[in-house]
Structure 1
Amino acid sequence: MDVSKGKSYYQGFIEIDKPANKATPIEHDLEGFKFVYELGQTLKETYSDVVYVFESTGIYHKALETFLMNHDEKCIILNPLEASKIRKTDLRSTKTDARDCKGIAKAYFMKDFRLHDQKDELYEKLQSMNGHYNFLIQQLREMKVHFRNALDIVYPRFDVVYPNPYLDIPMSILKRYAHPDELKNKRFETIVKYIMKDTKHRGPKAMDEAKKLKGFIDNVSSGCRSSAFEVTILKTMVNKISDQEVEIELCLDEMRELVSEVPLYHQLMSVPGIGDNLAIRLIGELGDLDRFERSEQLVAYAGIDPRVYQSGQMTGEHLHITKKGNKHLRTLLFLAMSSNVRIGKTNIILDFYNKKRQQTNPLVYKAALIACANKLLRIIFGMYKSGKNFHK
């Protein structure tokens, strides 16, 4: 199957150069998928084993995948680079939708691929949820930009009193009093009462915060009147940020529930620099490690394997990483290594980092972190295969 948006071509192959029919277009609906299914059933009458092979296209192959899995059919979902590599081996690499079916068939007959199974659904769900989590985080960042702009106009120098305005006390104050004039008219005792009501803080802490706020508000000069639209923006952003943070936490909680029974989750938590959040999201992007036979394959999947280009006097050393892999996994690995280095707790990965930074030709900070990410992936693979936790 050559899958594209809403439409695909399908063709049966008995052998690599023995097609069962011509490449035929279908729409992505029940009628179209039934044509593919019926061809498979016809081939089963003569050949016991029939496999449906198609490329992973992000989202466009999902309808076909679900249809075939619901009918208990065997599927192989190829990395698009596999078929592309086979197609480019031809001297004249013509690309058409009809010819792509043959390219996919060649890839299937020339190599052994793992069958897609129900176990993959857990990891697919986690990966989709992590994608949604990233989307929510990106939205939150944009909300915070708008919030900060409005805050600097309505409450100038508010960040001097509260460097982190997203904590419970400053957010609760801004929810109630979106303009300094509203807060100036409130008695000290009233502010203390509302701080205690809206947060978990009690007694002395609430009084200290109210005193700090009163000292700030008596000297503040707002950049707009209470009727200005910036005040409306500030009110809206405060509520939206609060709601978004709740939704992000709910998404993470649901992911945590899914990975709680996965042994690798607890193994990852034993690695310095990897906390609960990173461990959950790493599993979503790593997927089922059983599909990799060697750690080199996992490194290539992440796209942090070094490029190899050796020709004549060019040695092919010190080249950039390929980046032909899962960019979200690379980001998470980079975060894990940054945390590991920042914590500074002695372990084999930190020792490796220090070695790369202090060698004869020292690596720059980011290059050293990528080298460590490569090592971390190999360690994770070894942990998974052995069932052991991280050892210093």
Structure 2
Amino acid sequence: MQTIIAFDVSMGKSYMVIYQNGQCVEEKEIQHNKKDFQALHVTIQSLFMRYGQYPEIVFEATGVYSKVLESFMQANQYPYYLLNPLEAKQQCDRLRVHKTDRSDAHRLAQTHLTSNRKPKVFESTEYQQLRVLSRFYEEIDKEIILIKNRLHNALQLTFPELASIFPNQNSALYLNVLLLFPHPELVLSCSRTVLKNKLLANTKKNLSSE
């Protein structure tokens, strides 16, 4: 007997339907908490014990909202189908929508019977961590570029000559000098000795006094 469990995922909860041989036999809303996930675990295990195979679990990738459900599946090593939202929409659009449908979960389950979907391939923990770190690095890199562009634009309005003095604008000395002297009037208000001492105090490089 083919059993399909489909989820319509939203923030903090999902609407779940269970289909057997093309008919809906159960539907309900579950919260993304420990209690409801334990109940879901019992449901999946019961179906496995009864029919000798795991149900086909289907849901869309909806960013951080579906990550909780996906983590549950991976932690319990349940096979599942993770659909791209555009792919799911194209498949569901071919299905005639019934007014009795309360959720997109019904359409995901119904189209699963006729769609050639590929199950999600389990990845090693190390690979998952590397992927997360890689995305995190890209986000930080983009944020640094954005901040640098804002800094450059602001500096053009206050002290544009400062950038020409420092060829390496990623250096700690350049950023420290920028904090000390965001405007040329702050430079002119200091004596040569004070300027020298401030520069020497704000770098780890071995700059000569000259």
TM-score (norm 1): 0.43
How far apart are 1:189 and its partner, in Å? 9.6
Matches of 2:52 and 2:81 in 1, distance apart? 17
Give, as a single letter, the amino acid of the residue that structure 2 aligns with 1:68.
Answer: M
Is residue 2:65 matched to residue 1:60?
A: yes
1:49-83 Cα shifts (integer Å, max 9, x gaps): 11332221111112222223333333332223333
Higher helix proportion: 1
Unaligned runs of 5+ in 2: 1-6
Q: How does 1:1-392 map to 2 (within 5 A)?
A: 1-15=7-21, 17-19=22-24, 21-51=25-55, 52-90=57-95, 92-93=96-97, 98-109=102-113, 110-119=115-124, 121-162=125-166, 165-184=169-188, 185-187=190-192, 191=196, 194-195=199-200, 198-200=203-205, 202-203=207-208, 207=210
Contact 1:86 1:106 in 2 (8 A): no
How far apart are 1:140 and its partner, in Å? 2.7
Give, as a single letter, the amino acid of the residue that structure 1 aligns with 2:143.
Answer: Q
Matches of 2:79 and 2:140 in 1, distance apart? 35
Higher strand proportion: 2
Contact 1:12 1:39 in 2 (8 A): no
Unaligned runs of 5+ in 1: 208-392
Aligned CA distance change for structure 1 residues 159 and 61 (closer, same or farther; 3 Å): same
Give, as a single letter, the amino acid of the residue that structure 2 aligns with 1:85.
Answer: Q
Matches of 2:39 and 2:154 in 1, distance apart? 58
Give, as a single letter, the amino acid of the residue that structure 2 aligns with 1:140.
Answer: I
How far apart are 1:39 and its partner, in Å? 2.3
Matches of 1:155 and 1:105 in 2, distance apart? 62
1:18-50 Cα shifts (integer Å, max 9, x gaps): 43x232222222233234323222212321111
Matches of 1:159 and 1:95 in 2, distance apart? 65
1:90-135 Cα shifts (integer Å, max 9, x gaps): 2x3458874533332344443252344242x444434433443343
How far apart are 1:150 and its partner, in Å? 4.2
Aligned CA distance change for structure 1 residues 73 and 160 (closer, same or farther; 3 Å): closer
1:195-248 Cα shifts (integer Å, max 9, x gaps): 597143555xx85xxxxxxxxxxxxxxxxxxxxxxxxxxxxxxxxxxxxxxxxx
Contact 1:28 1:64 in 2 (8 A): yes
Contact 1:6 1:28 in 2 (8 A): yes
TM-score (norm 2): 0.72
Taking CA–CA contacts closer than 8 Å with sequence separation of 6 or more, which of the two structures ends up with the larger relative contact order? 2
Aligned length: 201
**Percentage of identical aligned residues:** 25
Give, as a single letter, the amino acid of the residue that structure 2 aligns with 1:89.
Answer: R
Matches of 1:48 and 1:24 in 2, distance apart? 24
